Amino acid sequence: MAGRAIVSEAIAVARATENELELLVREHARLVYRIAYSVSRNHQDAEDTTQETFLRVLRQRRKLASVNDSRAWLARIAWRVAIQRNKKVAAVPFEDIGEMAVELRSRIASADELVLGAEMGTLLESLIVMLPAKLRDPLILSTIEELSRAEIALMLGTNEAAVRSRIFRARQILRDKLAALLEGKHGT
Amino acid sequence: MEPNNQDDLASRLLNAGLQHYSATEPQPGLEQRLLAHVRLEQKQRTSVLFYWWLVPSGVVVLAIVSAALFVDRRSETVSSTIVASSQLHPAARPSLVSLGPTDLTHVAPPRSVINPRASRPVHSEKPVRREPRLEQFPSPRPLSKEEELLRAFVTEAPKEELVMAAAMTKGEDLQIKSLEIPSLEGDGLVARSNEKDH
């Protein structure tokens, strides 16, 4: 009898969790996917990461009731899962970056307008990968429009001021490198 | 290009690049796929939970069955030991026969007979073959030599001798009265013998 009561209670809790989890999926699947994509830069990997994130939430469903900000909690899980799955980020050789910069510069020079195609995206990815992790992580998260600086600070376990400072420094480094590449001084 | 223009261009490129860096949309049907996956996982977890409840129940049932089998086997071993002891010691058989079926458990078999390692009893309880019951008991048999002589004596001997024999076998004293010989024809016979003498 006691066993049946425990099982029925567990099933009831599981159903309630299932409903809550469905609600989370419907509301935040896009955010989780974007976080995953910002790290993996691959649609298939991003979807796998999103699935794994929600499965982790299912496993930690007991915590779900005590979570105040489920959105930030979910974003933090998604970030951790994505980082774990993409520990080995393939670094692009600097010579390749130089070639991409030359091609991009020729386009800009001819059109005198920014043509943001695949080349610019690849070049930016390569430059971001070269940043130190301390600056790279807040910069990547800042590109996701749904996340505020406070939420990024919460996800990274730091304060908002530090996040702002790191994002500013990361952008400055990227701008300098990009300007150098456009000038043709990519060897320095 | 001039340096200021270069910096300006780099800033514009960077802003535009970062703006589009994570601005991507998931493939259509992502929510449905996620929900299906989550439901499947939930279902599996529920079934696993149910089976985890079954495990202790199964253990309890197994323990009960094992205990019942152990008790049954133990009682079987005791009864077979009693039967084996009665077969090995014929002197003990009459006492067992005189006891009722409930008293059998109270009979302590000799220690030397009990073999605790014997898990299975020896097939000692063979069914006793019952002979058909005869109408006459005891069964008729030819008379012995003594019995033949006795029968001849009984048929041929006079009644007085039989009475004496019966009395002797009973251990009673002989009565004079029974041995008294009746007189022959009364006093006339005595008178006649007196006349001849004279």
Whether residue A47 and residue B33 make contact (CB cut-off 8 A), yes or no, is: yes
The one-letter amino acid at A90: A
The contacts of residue B188 (CB under 8 Å, 6+ apart) are: none
The pLDDT, as a whole number, for residue B8 is: 80
Most distant pair of Cα atoms in chain B: their distance? 212
pLDDT tens digits for B94-143?
444 444 454 444 555 555 455 555 555 555 556 666 767 767 776 777 88
The pLDDT, as a whole number, for residue A168 is: 95
B 29-48 → A contacts, CB under 8 A: 30-31, 33-35, 37-39, 41-42, 45-46
Cβ neighbour number for residue A60 with a 10 Å cutoff:
12
* N-terminal to C-terminal alpha carbon distance within chain A: 76
The pLDDT, as a whole number, for residue B97 is: 46
Give dist(CA A131, CA A139) in Å, integer: 10
**Counting one residue from A and one from B, how many pairs have CB atoms under 8 Å apart?**
124
Give dist(CA A123, CA A130) in Å, integer: 11
In the numeric block, the tokens 């514009």 are attached to B12
Give dist(CA A130, CA A93) in Å, integer: 10
Rg, chain A, Cα only: 21
Whether A166 contacts chain B with CB within 8 A: no
Place B20 in a pLDDT band, splitting at 50, 70 and 90: confident
Nearest alpha carbon to residue A148 among A134, A126, A163, A166: A163
Whether A64 contacts chain B with CB within 8 A: no
* Of B80 and A56, the one with more pLDDT: A56
Q: Which one of A4, A8, A11, A25 would you mutate to disrupt binding with B, by most B Cβ within 10 Å of its Cβ?
A: A25
Question: A42-56, A57-71, B114-128, B179-193 — which one is most confidently predicted on average?
Answer: A42-56
Whether residue A143 and residue B14 make contact (CB cut-off 8 A), yes or no, is: no
The tokens for A80 are 């951790």
The pLDDT, as a whole number, for residue B165 is: 81
Whether residue B31 and residue A38 make contact (CB cut-off 8 A), yes or no, is: no
Q: Min CA distance, B36 vs chain A (Å)?
A: 10
Given a contact cutoff of 8 angstroms between Cβ atoms, the answer to whether A130 and A136 are in contact is no
pLDDT tens digits for B158-194?
888 888 888 777 766 656 666 667 676 655 555 555 6
Give dist(CA A35, CA B95) in Å, integer: 93
Whether residue A116 and residue B41 make contact (CB cut-off 8 A), yes or no, is: no
The tokens for B141 are 């048999």
Q: Which one of A27, A116, A123, A186 would you mutate to disrupt binding with B, by most B Cβ within 10 Å of its Cβ?
A: A116
Give dist(CA B188, CA B173) in Å, integer: 35
Nearest alpha carbon to residue A186 among A87, A111, A95, A89: A95
For A8, the closest chain B residue by CA position comes to B50
Most distant pair of Cα atoms in chain A: their distance? 81
The pLDDT, as a whole number, for residue B58 is: 84
The C-alpha torsion from B97 through B100 and B105 to B109, rounded to 10°, is -20
- ipTM for the predicted complex: 0.70
Give dist(CA A176, CA A179) in Å, integer: 5
In the numeric block, the tokens 């020079």 are attached to A109
pLDDT tens digits for A106-140?
665 544 455 456 677 788 888 998 999 999 999 99
What is the secondary structure of A101-138 as a DSSP string? Answer: HHHHHHHHHHHSS----HHHHHHHHHHHHTS-HHHHHH
Q: Which one of B15, B22, B42 would you mutate to disrupt binding with A, by most A Cβ within 10 Å of its Cβ?
A: B22
Whether residue A29 and residue B31 make contact (CB cut-off 8 A), yes or no, is: yes
